[in-house]
Structures are given as structure tokens and as C-alpha cells.
Amino acid sequence: MKYKIPFNRPSFLGNEQTYVAEAIAHGHISGDGLFTRKCHELLEGILRVSKVLLTTSCTDALEITALLLEIQPGDEVILPSFTFLSTANAFVLRGARPIFVDIRPDTLNLDESKLESLITPSTKGIITVHYGGVGCEMDDILDIGKRHGLPVIEDNAHGLLGKYKGKYLGTFGSLATQSFHETKNITCGEGGALLINDPQYIERAEVIREKGSNRSRFLRGEVDQYTWIDLGSSYLPSDILAAFLYAQLEVREQIQAKRKQIWELYYESFRDWGKQHEVRLPVVPEHCDQSYHLFFLIMPSLEHRQGLIEHLKSRGILSVFHYLPLHLSPMGQQFGGKEGDCPVAEHVSDRLVRLPFYNTLTEADQTSVVNAVLDFDFKEPGS
């Protein structure tokens, strides 16, 4: 079915077409060309991290991370159950056992108070996800990591340009990963980046990203031929994609301002209504500047959630839910996951609904969404 108001729509807001044409004219369309370098410099300049490497996806940046941490069969990594499956899969591919931690009821981020009891001698890392681009409690998490000698990794797919206590998300962990998938704030269709904060990982990350070769050093003239020196794969995006991405990065402030406006209109429209009907809105702590990645409602019951999705569908509006907790997925169950392991994630997963949210959402369309939600009949959620 075709929706009058989709859930997501990719948008073209700057010089995407011009730069893509330039990349083609330039004659270098494989990885690490002119626009890839421009993206690296721009992101390193904004975020002040030691190194940024564009990748073909956030999933791939997580895979590089698992290789950099030298994850071996039998190792454990701790991560929230309420996340996208790649957060786990990248480590499971190397033989790790995912240990799922429950989330906080307010921000839906990993619950740092439940973290320490899950650490064992096999633990090799802590993976955080800044849900919706609202920062996890990084002070506590970094402190736990430090005391146990464990690297902290940020899956920052939602959180580019968000801040925790005034510092950019993605700059806290030893390594962090970004996504530029079509559904994210800033996109090139499919793409990602690895942010390296701990410089000890830079050289090896370049090798892993270049198929296990020292080609990056060769191109810089540091060695006179390149060869196979380590594990690796092909994680470089084409410069055509980097050109598209660079155009979006250039207008990042315009994108973020627009998303802030959308988020605030939803929030203001539903504040009183939410209190009346026991619908919970997102919580953003004072010390977090969020990235305005998504807007959700937590309905009083599963029946109300499904009812609202149907109700919006009848008005031509697509709303969606996520995430099925990873510990209850078929893969999660193979690792022993069972109901009751992460009660907050299970509760939220049944009740959460996400509303249309994209850079070109017009105020008129958003008002239609708001009015449709406000018309929802709580007494007969199925009608």
C-alpha cells in the first residue's frame, strides 16, 4: 500500500548531484578519493577524534571494531538487548557470545547500574548505543570500563552531532561507529564510518579496511610496495557515495535545525495528551543534547500500540515499531536468551511506536500526523 505520509523519505538538500557528477568527472570513483578525504577531514575537524575512516556501513565499522579488539571464540561482549542486530552480529561473527544488558526506563539506553555484574573474565568489551541520539551515562560506563580494563565502544548510528555533557557522542569510547544509511539523519544511501579515539588502533584499522593490506601506507609513500599483512576485508565506500555524503555533511546544521523543529512540534503537541492517556514521551536528560534522530510514543499496552498503527494507516500514515529485543530473537535464544532476562526492554518493545520523521517532512504533513494521533480512540484501540 502507498502511504500519503511515509515513515521515512530520503532527501536531497544540498550539492549531492553536483558533487556526484564531480566525482565521476574527476575519474577516481573507487574508495579513498577526493571526496572521501574531504569527509574524513570535515568529520575529524568537527568531532576532534584522532582518525575517521569512511566505511560501507555502520555494520562494517562494527566488524572492523571486532577485528581490532581481537575477539576470539568464547569471548564475551556486553551490549543492550534493545538495539539493531548489527550491534551484536559484528562480534558474533568473530565467535563472541553476546551478553545482553537491560535498558533504563527513561532514556531506553543501556542501564549502567546493571553493567558491572555481567562482567566476567571472558568479557572483552562494552558496546553502548545512544538510543535516538540521547547520550548513555558515559561517565559511569567509562569508569566501569577503566576499572576492569575493558574498551568501551560506541555504536553511534543514531547520535552523530549529539552531545553528552557538552562533548560529541562518538568521542568517548576507544572506537565509535556511525551510520549513513538512508534512515539516518545524514545519509549517502548505504554508508558508515569508524571513529578512532584511541590512536593505538589507527594503523591496524587502515589495514583491516584495505583487505588486510598496507595499501594506505603505500599510497602515502611510506612503503615501496603493498602486500597482505593481516586479516581484513573490503570496507571502503566508492568516492561517488562519499561525494553524496559530503554534500549532506555540508548542510548538517540546516538538517539538524529542521529535525529539532520536527521533534519539538511532536513533543509539544503530545505533552498534555500523553499525561491524560498514560502515553510516555521521550526523556532527554538536562546534560544531553540529543541528535533528533527519531520520535516515539510509548503506549499503555501492546493493544493500544497496534491499534494506533492501524488507525494511522487508515489515514494514509505509516508508523513503525522496533526493536524486538535481541535476547528473544531466534539468534539470541541460541545464546540462552529467555523471557524475563531484560524486563524493561521487553516492556518497551511491545508498546513503542515511531512516527514519521524525515528532513523534508512538511509542517502540514506533520500536523496531519499529530491530529490523527490525537484522534485515536483509547477505549476502542482496535477500531
Ligand X SMILES: *Cc1c(COP(=O)(O)O)cnc(C)c1O
User: Which residue in 8, 65, 81, 86 binds ligand X (CB under 6 A)?
Assistant: 86
Q: Is 77 in the site for ligand X (CB under 6 A)?
A: no
SS3 (DSSP) at 249? helix
User: Which residue in 19, 35, 82, 84 binds ligand X (CB under 6 A)?
Assistant: 84
> Of 178, 206, 171, 175, which Cα lies nearest the Cα of 192?
178
Q: Is 129 in the site for ligand X (CB under 6 A)?
A: yes
For ligand X, the closer of residues 85 and 144 by Cβ is: 85
Using CB atoms within 10 A of its CB, is residue 166 exposed (0-12), middle (13-18) or buried (19+)?
A: exposed
CA distance 372 to 177: 36
Q: How far is the CB of 32 from ligand X (least distance, A)?
A: 19
CA distance 347 to 185: 27
Q: Is 160 in the site for ligand X (CB under 6 A)?
A: no
Q: Is 187 in the site for ligand X (CB under 6 A)?
A: no
- Candidates 108-116, 150-158, 270-278, 350-358 — which segment interacts with ligand X by CB under 6 A? 150-158
Q: Is 59 in the site for ligand X (CB under 6 A)?
A: yes
Asked if 306 contacts 144 with a C-beta cutoff of 8 angstroms, the reply is no
- Candidates 46-54, 112-120, 152-160, 364-372 — which segment interacts with ligand X by CB under 6 A? 152-160
Q: How far is the CB of 263 from ligand X (least distance, A)?
A: 17
- Candidates 81-89, 206-214, 264-272, 350-358 — which segment interacts with ligand X by CB under 6 A? 81-89
Q: How far is the CB of 381 from ligand X (least distance, A)?
A: 28
* Cis ω before 323 (30° cut-off from 0): yes
For ligand X, the closer of residues 60 and 206 by Cβ is: 60
> Of 332, 298, 380, which Cα lies nearest the Cα of 100?
332
Q: How far is the CB of 84 from ligand X (least distance, A)?
A: 4
Interacting residues with ligand X between 296 and 355 (CB under 6 A): none
**Per-residue buried b or exposed e for 61-90, using 16+ beta carbons within 10 Å of the residue's own CB:** bbbbbbbbbebeeebbbbbbbbbbbbbbbb
Task: Read off the DSSP letter of residue 28.
Answer: -
For ligand X, the closer of residues 57 and 123 by Cβ is: 57
CA distance 181 to 185: 9
For ligand X, the closer of residues 86 and 214 by Cβ is: 86
Q: How far is the CB of 91 from ligand X (least distance, A)?
A: 12
- Candidates 30-38, 51-59, 217-225, 262-270 — which segment interacts with ligand X by CB under 6 A? 51-59
For ligand X, the closer of residues 59 and 123 by Cβ is: 59
Cα 292 to chain centroid distance, Å, stands at 12
- Candidates 33-41, 55-63, 195-203, 308-316 — which segment interacts with ligand X by CB under 6 A? 55-63
Q: How far is the CB of 135 from ligand X (least distance, A)?
A: 14
Q: How far is the CB of 104 from ligand X (least distance, A)?
A: 16
> Of 176, 63, 94, 93, which Cα lies nearest the Cα of 130?
176
Asked if 32 contacts 219 with a C-beta cutoff of 8 angstroms, the reply is yes
User: Which residue in 51, 104, 124, 158 binds ligand X (CB under 6 A)?
Assistant: 158
For ligand X, the closer of residues 52 and 157 by Cβ is: 157
User: Which residue in 8, 36, 179, 214 binds ligand X (CB under 6 A)?
Assistant: 179
By CB under 6 A, the count of residues binding ligand X is 14
Asked if 158 contacts 139 with a C-beta cutoff of 8 angstroms, the reply is no
Asked if 136 contacts 130 with a C-beta cutoff of 8 angstroms, the reply is yes
CA distance 253 to 222: 37
User: Which residue in 16, 102, 111, 155 binds ligand X (CB under 6 A)?
Assistant: 155
Dihedral sign computed on CA atoms, order 187, 188, 192, 193: negative
Question: What is the β-pairing status of strands 288-289 and 163-164?
Answer: antiparallel
User: 328 CB contacts (<8 Å, ≥6 apart)?
Assistant: 81, 337, 338, 339, 346
For ligand X, the closer of residues 81 and 83 by Cβ is: 83
The binding site for ligand X (CB under 6 A) comprises: 57-59, 83-84, 86-87, 129, 155, 157-158, 179, 181, 192
